[in-house]
Structure 1
Amino acid sequence: MRELPELSYLLPHTKPMLMVDELVAVGPEQVHCRTRVSGLNPFFDAQRQHLPGYVGIELLAQTVAGWAGYQAWQAGRQPDIGFLLGSRRYHSEVSAFDVGTVLDLYGERILDNQGMAVFSCRIEIEGQSVATCQLNVYVPATAKLAQMVVNPHDKEQRT
């Protein structure tokens, strides 16, 4: 079995916006990442010593991006640029994640159609599910991405 690469290689994020620590396991349809809540997270509330529960959506989005980056890496490609289109039914049993808590982050692809995908995701603490949602994501083809990128200073593109 191949050794898993660092998430920093698979995601287009850098610290401090890279908020997930480790890729634990990945397969054709599923991914498992892990992170420990710390003051290094840009959304960490230093006064209350916790990470707000809603940040779980971003942690799960980065987990899904780790899955996509791994698929590209395995195929010998650079990670694709992807977009989080939205989340559905984010339900959290906790309002915040306390400092030092280890969060296990899971995603499973349940639908994929021409770059549009839906992932069923959850966050676990010590084996107990504490948050769930579905994430809708889009990874455009390279040609489509080039069409989407517009330089506001290029007058030819605006005419």
Structure 2
Amino acid sequence: MASDYNVAELVPHSGRMSLLTNILDYGDGWLSAEVEIKKDSMFSDEFGVPSWVGLEYLAQAIGAYAGLQERLHGGAPKLGFLIGTRKYTSTQEYFSVGSILTIKVIKNLQAENGLSAFDCVLHSSDNCEATARLNVFQPKNAEEFLKGAKNE
């Protein structure tokens, strides 16, 4: 199903920290998004954007998926946390300026306590591929969760 939502409606990041360009498509348990690498993209240097930033692109796509689920059930996007990754690999060290990254995140596991695991793939128009499995946590109330973490 083509997306009726834009990034700002699904991801709680704002300003320059909102790294996704478009939400392309979604379905049962998955979402695809796009990032356009520009000269003034966050984290860009003379070579482009370092491929390790792909991990954040993947995490924000998962955030968009979670925000979509909230919107589809009448809610608003909530804050979530990247808690770990397995085997993040990229075939290149940089995403080139002018390249378009297509990201697909697929829900692999979702527990009642807010923990989830996603398989993620990123393809770029300049033949780079990055993959990872990301573990994320979305508490019911992020403010209470953060307060509790401060007090410990």
Common fold by TM > 0.5: yes
Q: How far is 1:28 from its partner?
A: 2.1
Question: 1:136 matched to which residue of 2?
Answer: 135
Return the match for 1:104 from 99, 102, 105: 102
User: What SS is found at the alignment partner of 1:123?
Assistant: strand
User: Cα 1:10–1:26, aligned 2, differ >3 Å: closer, same or farther?
Assistant: same
Q: How far is 1:33 from its partner?
A: 0.2
Question: 2:72 matched to which residue of 1?
Answer: 74
Instruction: Measure the CA separation in 1 of the matches of 2:121 and 2:3.
Output: 24
Question: What amino acid does structure 2 have at the position aligned with 1:69?
Answer: G
User: What SS is found at the alignment partner of 1:57?
Assistant: helix
TM-score (norm 1): 0.86
User: Cα 1:3–1:26, aligned 2, differ >3 Å: closer, same or farther?
Assistant: closer
Listed as ranges, the matches of 1:14-33 within 5 Å are 14-33=14-33
Instruction: Measure the CA separation in 2 of the matches of 1:60 and 1:73.
Output: 20
Q: Does the alignment pair 1:93 with 2:91?
A: yes
Instruction: Measure the CA separation in 1 of the matches of 2:65 and 2:3.
Output: 15
Q: Does the alignment pair 1:148 with 2:145?
A: yes
Q: Does the alignment pair 1:6 with 2:39?
A: no
Identify which range, 122-131 or 17-26, moves more after superposition.
122-131
Q: Unaligned regions of 5+ residues in structure 1, if any?
A: 152-156
| 8 Å CA contact retained: 2:32, 2:105 | yes
Question: 1:124 matched to which residue of 2?
Answer: 123
User: What SS is found at the alignment partner of 1:12?
Assistant: coil
Question: 2:53 matched to which residue of 1?
Answer: 55
Q: How far is 1:149 from its partner?
A: 3.2
TM-score (norm 2): 0.89
Instruction: Measure the CA separation in 2 of the matches of 1:12 and 1:40.
Output: 21
| 8 Å CA contact retained: 1:29, 1:109 | yes
Question: 1:154 matched to which residue of 2?
Answer: none
Cα RMSD between the aligned structures? 2.1
Deviations 1:117-136 (A, max 9, x none): 00000111249661100000
Instruction: Measure the CA separation in 1 of the matches of 2:37 and 2:144.
Output: 38
Question: What amino acid does structure 1 have at the position aligned with 2:25?
Answer: A
Figure out how many residues of one structure are paired with residues of the other and give that number: 149
Q: How far is 1:75 from its partner?
A: 0.8
